[in-house]
Amino acid sequence: MTSFYELVKNRRSIRKYEDRAVEQEKIDSILRSALMSPASKRTNGWEFIVVDDRELLQKMSTCRELGSKFVADAPLAIVVCASPEKSDVWFEDASIAALIIQLAAQDLDLGSCWVQVYNRMHTETETSGEYIRSLLNIPESLEVLNIVTLGYKNEDRKPYDEEKLSYDKLHRNTF
């Protein structure tokens, strides 16, 4: 069994996936993990949309000019949204859930990548969030944080090298 430390060390963003569906059991396990994410005051203001429709994935891949093209070829993606009405820290709540999804995927030997939607533009006049919201019929009350792509890895990424970590970022007692 992989330790949590090994899991963190080995998790890298994966943007190329095998052309192979992810088993429903694995998807369910990832989604249950997301639902166990910690959230401020237990508000649980997040919502998760699982997308495996090829046409939708293709359209989602154009949510930004750069950085989202590979969504078109992912077998699966989870769109993470949250309600600013339910939580004043929806962004944090949703980010934690997105990372839990990524770690759960790694635990199941699946690759994943965070694709930023919030605070990004689709066109000069439409945000990436507005584009994804209308594409997936997401209620206006929700903000779209990101798209987490998922699938069997089709690229080799090296684990983190402990020798090269930014130890200069660590402080003790005072900065």
Ligand X SMILES: Cc1cc2nc3c(=O)[nH]c(=O)nc-3n(C[C@H](O)[C@H](O)[C@H](O)COP(=O)(O)O)c2cc1C
Binding stretches for ligand X (CB under 6 A): 12-13, 15, 67-68, 113-116, 157
Q: How far apart are CA 50 and CA 54, in angstroms?
A: 12
Nearer to ligand X, 28 or 84 (CB): 84
Q: Smallest gap, in angstroms, from Cβ of residue 116 to ligand X?
A: 4
Nearer to ligand X, 42 or 158 (CB): 158
Q: Smallest gap, in angstroms, from Cβ of residue 57 to ligand X?
A: 15
Q: Quick one: which of 108, 98, 96 has its CA closest to 151?
A: 108
Q: Smallest gap, in angstroms, from Cβ of residue 54 to ligand X?
A: 20
Nearer to ligand X, 22 or 96 (CB): 96
Which are the contacts of 104, defined by CB distance < 8 A and separation ≥ 6?
A: 29, 30, 33, 34
Would you state the structure tokens that stand for residue 75, as one six-digit string? 């077998």
Would you state the structure tokens that stand for residue 79, as one six-digit string? 């769109």
Q: Smallest gap, in angstroms, from Cβ of residue 120 to ligand X?
A: 7
Which are the contacts of 151, defined by CB distance < 8 A and separation ≥ 6?
A: 14, 17, 18, 20, 22, 74, 75, 76, 110, 111
Nearer to ligand X, 27 or 148 (CB): 148
Q: Quick one: which of 32, 23, 2 has its CA closest to 150?
A: 23
Nearer to ligand X, 2 or 13 (CB): 13
Q: Smallest gap, in angstroms, from Cβ of residue 2 to ligand X?
A: 17
Q: How far apart are CA 64 and CA 61, in angstroms?
A: 7
Query: Residue 56 gets which letter from DSSP?
Result: H
